[in-house]
Chains A and B, each alone.
Chain A
């Protein structure tokens, strides 16, 4: 199936409306949003206390990523050579379908019946769990949030907090059913107990799985390593306990050196969760050596394009700098009014509004570049200075250039611009609009239904102009 085939991004408008009206979801989002924002703010304060300049660091992180994106092919070759030299196999996948085929093939060759997974958004691009299940291989998500989402038969609604849309009651129902126990009354005080319950179940999966599948936060070119940044410890189990470890990651995830990695690590956890460092940071190099007692017998890197290579050197190259911290969505007023599922594909929020059209087709996600107030709260927190609103804006231009905007909108815009180019006529029309708006107002002096822009008056009144336009009054003043 094509990528666009599993994207629901064309239905953003309808999905967004449904999510805004979902009272339970709204309650959850309202509770979570200030936490995300406060955590990053605290992380930044910590940096400043340690004597760092946040803007300087953002610049340094952006420069590291830019250096890679500018010469992606060179860095990939270096990585492939070093990773192979350390005993890993490096494979390449053009798209999500090829990722799925490669992973299933590796699993079958190694007699795998169960694969434990640590968090990977790329595996969502590839719809890997579906492909594994179809091949008779049981995929088990082991990140707590991903585990919840898998039990619910859903997709992640946030790139670092996949189950952020779930209430504790919903999680309890899922656990009771999956773990075959009676339903209990739960409050937030029970979260540690519920996590322990999931942990006990997952432990059995870690011990029995023949294959571990992880993503990588970064690929380090100089050492041929995958860097994994996690908080729950599941990433270590996934990457070290099973016989086979498969790393699937986008080709843009390279950083040149370990030093560069440590620079990026100053901002990644702080931008994501406000932590000065995540609970676990793993550097995984090669497979188990001859004299080593643990680690996988076989390590395979699958480096995935799926639309990325086409962005290098394009108007959207800056997007390849993204390190998937989630800060853009955590600070997005639109994301936190909707949750992630409204966006319809793998990546939500501002970075999703850029990536989804680029990876699934501009014509298949027409609303997303417009699902922004242009506030730039995202761009101002991005650890690698991606100008997200500018990229959304460029996508809007491309929609126009390709004639993808509705004709009514194009006509209205042209008519308005034509008028705005003719001041005399513009004044005449403005005066009539002012009068019309005053006529629309009710007894209390407000417009409650405005047929020309019903979206405005669904939830808001409109205060009509008090009388003549500024230019009318000003002309009268000058005459007096």
Chain B
């Protein structure tokens, strides 16, 4: 099977290791992985800001890049939700694009779901000695229903113990532009997440969305916690080596 890895703009800029970990997982499972070279951003920031026209332009660009593939895999619940659930409604009234949007949406998967459901990934190339707690990011959980998959995958990592934090389904307070627009409110929300992580006694917090992870990591560090690792699920499953 030939699949496209949509690395996301945030991973591209802020943490390339997530993209390479995803590549290792997918190629390791025997997939032919292509990183479409023109990809930039799925357009969610424009959509969230309420600018439908800009969001539409970027959706069309991404659809054209992604439609030649059997599958599209996205290491982000938020971007995957945007492509799966928002693209079709965004282009529903555009005769030339509605069907193309729906087709790409139907073939697009959040990484953990693809690894678990489509690839039935059983063998993982890493070991992790320690306790890990999983943060359910909102769009992955409530938009796509991703809940079981990341936990099932983590349970297959040798040496890893999963320990659930209190209120793991609670929002971390990121919300894209929200985190900057209402910085103090966002900080108050992520503080509760940090307390839950600390109380879980985990060595690492793992999540499926880099936005949430940057938010959680930023607050943990500002609070003086330099010990707790903050890892994307792909990194927890395939290591943090960039490239």
Contacts and interface: CB of A to CB of B under 8 A. Distances in A.
A413 to B, nearest CB: 6
Contacts of B15: 465-466
B12 A430 contact: yes
B92 interface: no
A288 interface: no
Interface in A422-462: 423, 426, 430, 433-434, 446, 453-462
Contact of A466 (B16, B39, B183): B16
16 contacts: A13-B182, A20-B185, A21-B184, A333-B189, A374-B48, A375-B138, A413-B54, A417-B54, A421-B40, A460-B215, A460-B221, A466-B16, A466-B17, A468-B16, A469-B13, A474-B35
Interface string B150-192: 0000000000000000000111011111111111111111111
Interface in A92-112: none
Interface centre among A338, A375, A399 (most CB of B within 10 A): A375
B127 interface: no
B38 A338 contact: no
Nearest to B240: A466
A148 to B, nearest CB: 25
Given A426-B40, A459-B219, A471-B12, A397 B183 contact: no
Nearest to A467: B242
Nearest to B215: A460
A393 B177 CA distance: 13
Given A370-B177, A420-B41, A423-B37, 18 more contacts: A13-B182, A333-B189, A334-B182, A337-B185, A337-B189, A373-B173, A379-B142, A395-B50, A413-B54, A423-B38, A423-B40, A426-B40, A446-B221, A461-B217, A462-B218, A465-B15, A466-B15, A469-B13
A368 B65 CA distance: 36
A459 B184 CA distance: 7
B138 A374 contact: yes
Interface residues of A, number: 67
B222 A459 contact: yes
Interface residues of B, number: 66
Interface of B: 7, 9, 11-17, 19-20, 35, 37-41, 43, 45-52, 54, 57-58, 61, 138-139, 142-143, 169-171, 173-192, 214-215, 217-219, 221-222, 242-243
B13 A463 contact: no
A459 B173 CA distance: 12
B165 to A, nearest CB: 14
B243 A477 contact: yes
Given A466-B242, A469-B16, A373 B189 contact: yes
A334 B183 CA distance: 12
B219 to A, nearest CB: 5
A333 B218 CA distance: 19
Contacts of B14: 463-465
A460 B49 contact: no
A470 B12 contact: yes
A423 B217 CA distance: 29
A455 B179 contact: yes
B179 A456 contact: yes
A376 B219 contact: no
Contacts of A369: 50
A375 B7 CA distance: 22
